[in-house]
């Protein structure tokens, strides 16, 4: 039988022992992998120490999970379970998440490194909202009658895919889990889910709530493992009808390729971004600085919608730099232990991510950009990087073109509206954008010209469960959230 672990956390924000099963969750119960030879070490990014070990699944375990999901779909879920019943179970699940919010936030702070208060308010608050939103849709999914002529009766019927695969990233584990699980269960699908091998703890805890809420066995299955094994097996499986993936563009291509090579399963991809933040000289500067810093440095810059390309109109460039620098200095002074109430900036998720970001910082320096502030390691323990600002950036630099996924902003000056639109669109990505101007006509004109799936005016990254989310170009395919998610 798979083993349990107990994680002891003792500080002012959270004190308690969190019990976790470290196995695979298949057909409503915990089990060992078929080949139970190796384990995955789960690391605390604040100090590099090992938190726990979890079971390492393989393609054989994915096969077993798919069979369990197929059985559940045909016998107890799918069209066998009324939408009203699915909605009640989802609402019950949201109630349990709300009850255990502190416990989940503690796991996210410990495993991901995000400040506890942010994990509690933003991640868990968003996850609960998402599950409740789709619970409300569960009994409202229906087709239409179509008038043709008096000799025909024609109607459309919305049916589930069946078994769906879900691959979630490490930066927002519970939030991304809810984005995938909510619409899939509301529409009657069964799930085989792979959490990130770096941050599996909250997904494993979530599995216990699936049982407690009363979902039939096999409706939700969770298989730990690496992308090259479990992720690939999900992407290639002939009995999985759809895959939803959030992660890098490079891996997203592999998921899409696997679909093309196998059964042409439907694919939803939420991929990378290099989002522009455009600041006109008539903006409310004080509010703009707050929003721009939150858009850039939230979750330590480890966000696909991070506003990492900041374009400032030349008339207010010096004032913006001064005020933005002051905010970033404050953020730097509030960097540290995720379980300290004053912490606003935690570590990067892993040594690999730390090294990758530091490589981009070195590239920025070598290409001639100026490190205005930051640009180095914070402290001597863990994977902390100073919030960083680069100035004197040019469009050809790697730090301007490529997704860094870390606390590194590239600030550029512009003159005209036409110029900044062209510069903002000069990227392979198109996930999100922000425009700051008190001239609403201009702001709307600019956001309509930007090639991005979401656009925010005088605000930033206020993602909501009722509003569709997704990208243009290499930022993805399909939409999550809102009624749009039910159709994809």
Question: Same domain, yes or no, for 147 and 184?
Answer: yes
DSSP letter assigned to residue 335: B
Phi and psi torsions of 225, nearest 5°: 160, 180
Give the separation between CA 295 and CA 411, rounded to whole angstroms: 14
On whether residue 485 sits in a domain, the answer given is: no
Phi and psi torsions of 214, nearest 5°: 105, 15
Question: Same domain, yes or no, for 265 and 297?
Answer: no
On whether residue 323 sits in a domain, the answer given is: yes
On whether residue 154 sits in a domain, the answer given is: yes
Question: Same domain, yes or no, for 282 and 263?
Answer: no
- 422 has catalytic annotation: no
Of 273, 200, 188, 189, give the one whose Cα is nearest residue 231: 200
Write the CA distances from 403 to 100, 250, 302, integer angstroms. Answer: 34, 12, 10
On whether residue 404 sits in a domain, the answer given is: yes
* Whole-prediction pTM: 0.96
Encode the chain (488 residues) as per-residue pLDDT tens digits: 567 899 999 998 999 999 999 999 999 999 999 998 899 999 999 999 999 999 999 999 999 999 999 999 999 999 999 999 999 999 999 999 999 999 999 999 999 999 999 999 999 999 999 999 999 999 999 999 999 999 999 999 999 999 999 999 999 999 999 999 999 999 999 999 999 999 999 999 999 999 999 999 999 999 999 999 999 999 999 999 999 999 999 999 999 999 999 999 999 999 999 999 999 999 999 999 999 999 999 999 999 999 999 999 999 999 999 999 999 999 999 999 999 999 999 999 999 999 999 999 999 999 999 999 999 999 999 999 999 999 999 999 999 999 999 999 999 999 999 999 999 999 999 999 999 999 999 999 999 999 999 999 999 988 999 999 999 999 999 999 999 999 88
Q: What is the CATH number of the domain that holds 388?
A: 3.40.309.10
Give the separation between CA 130 and CA 357, rounded to whole angstroms: 31
On whether residue 31 sits in a domain, the answer given is: yes
Question: Same domain, yes or no, for 281 and 266?
Answer: no
Question: Same domain, yes or no, for 265 and 281?
Answer: no
Q: Are strands 432-436 and 454-457 parallel, antiparallel or unpaired?
A: parallel
Number of helical H runs and strand E runs in the chain: 16, 21
The catalytic residue among 197, 270, 451, 480 is 270
**Could you list the residue range(s) of the whole structural domain that residue 351 is in?**
276-464
| DSSP collapsed to 3 states, 386-398 | CCEEEECCCCCCH
Whether the Cβ atoms of residue 72 and residue 216 lie closer than 8 Å to each other: yes
On whether residue 146 sits in a domain, the answer given is: yes
Write the CA distances from 471 to 193, 272, 485, integer angstroms. Answer: 23, 9, 13
Total of domains in the chain: 2
Give the separation between CA 206 and CA 410, rounded to whole angstroms: 38
Element (H, E) at 242: strand 242-246
Write down which residue in 200, 235, 270 finishes a domain: 270
Question: Same domain, yes or no, for 181 and 307?
Answer: no
Q: Where are any strands of DSSP class E within 247-387?
A: 266-270, 276-279, 309-313, 370-373
């Amino acid at each position: 039988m798979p083993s349990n672990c107990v994680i002891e956390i003792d500080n002012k924000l959270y004190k308690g022992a969190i019990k976790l099963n470290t196995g695979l969750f298949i057909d409503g119960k915990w089990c060992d992998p078929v080949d139970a030879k190796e384990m995955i070490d789960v690391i605390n990014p604040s100090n590099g120490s090992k938190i726990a070990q979890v079971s390492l699944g393989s393609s054989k375990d994915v096969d077993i999970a798919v069979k369990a999901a197929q059985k559940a779909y045909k016998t107890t879920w799918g069209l066998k379970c009324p939408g009203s019943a699915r909605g009640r179970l989802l609402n019950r699940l949201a109630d349990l998440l709300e009850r255990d919010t502190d416990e989940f936030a503690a796991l996210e702070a410990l495993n991901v490194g995000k400040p506890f208060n942010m994990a509690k308010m933003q991640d868990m608050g968003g996850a609960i909202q998402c599950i409740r939103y789709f619970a409300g849709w569960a009994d409202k999914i229906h087709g239409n009658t179509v008038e043709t002529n008096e000799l025909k009766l024609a109607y459309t019927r919305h049916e589930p895919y069946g078994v769906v695969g879900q691959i979630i990233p490490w930066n927002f584990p519970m939030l991304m889990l809810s984005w995938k699980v909510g619409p899939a269960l509301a529409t009657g699908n069964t799930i085989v889910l792979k959490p990130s091998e770096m941050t599996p703890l909250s997904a494993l805890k979530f599995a216990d709530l699936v049982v407690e809420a009363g979902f039939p066995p096999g409706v939700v299955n969770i298989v730990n493992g690496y992308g090259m094994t479990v992720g690939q097996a999900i992407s290639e499986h002939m009995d999985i009808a759809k895959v939803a993936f959030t992660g890098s563009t490079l891996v997203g291509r592999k998921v899409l390729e696997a679909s093309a090579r196998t059964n042409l399963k439907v694919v939803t991809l939420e991929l990378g971004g290099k989002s522009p933040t455009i600041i006109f000289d008539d903006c409310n500067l004080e509010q703009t600085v707050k929003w721009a810093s939150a858009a850039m440095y939230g979750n330590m810059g480890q966000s696909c919608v991070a506003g990492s390309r900041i374009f400032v109109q030349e008339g207010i460039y010096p004032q913006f730099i001064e005020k933005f620098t002051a905010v970033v200095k404050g953020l730097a002074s509030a960097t540290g232990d995720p379980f300290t109430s004053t912490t606003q900036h935690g570590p990067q998720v892993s040594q690999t991510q730390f090294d990758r970001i530091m490589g981009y910082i070195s590239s920025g320096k070598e290409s001639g950009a100026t490190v205005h502030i930051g640009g180095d390691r914070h402290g001597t323990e863990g994977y902390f990087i100073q919030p960083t600002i680069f100035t004197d950036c040019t469009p050809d630099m790697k730090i301007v073109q490529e997704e860094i996924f870390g606390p590194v902003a590239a600030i550029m000056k512009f003159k005209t509206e036409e110029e900044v639109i062209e510069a903002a669109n000069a990227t392979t990505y198109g996930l999100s954008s922000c425009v700051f101007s008190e001239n609403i006509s201009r702001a709307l004109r600019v956001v309509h010209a930007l090639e991005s799936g979401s656009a925010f005016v005088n605000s930033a990254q206020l993602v909501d469960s009722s509003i569709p989310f997704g990208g243009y170009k290499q930022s993805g395919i399909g939409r999550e959230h809102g009624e749009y998610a039910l159709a994809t």
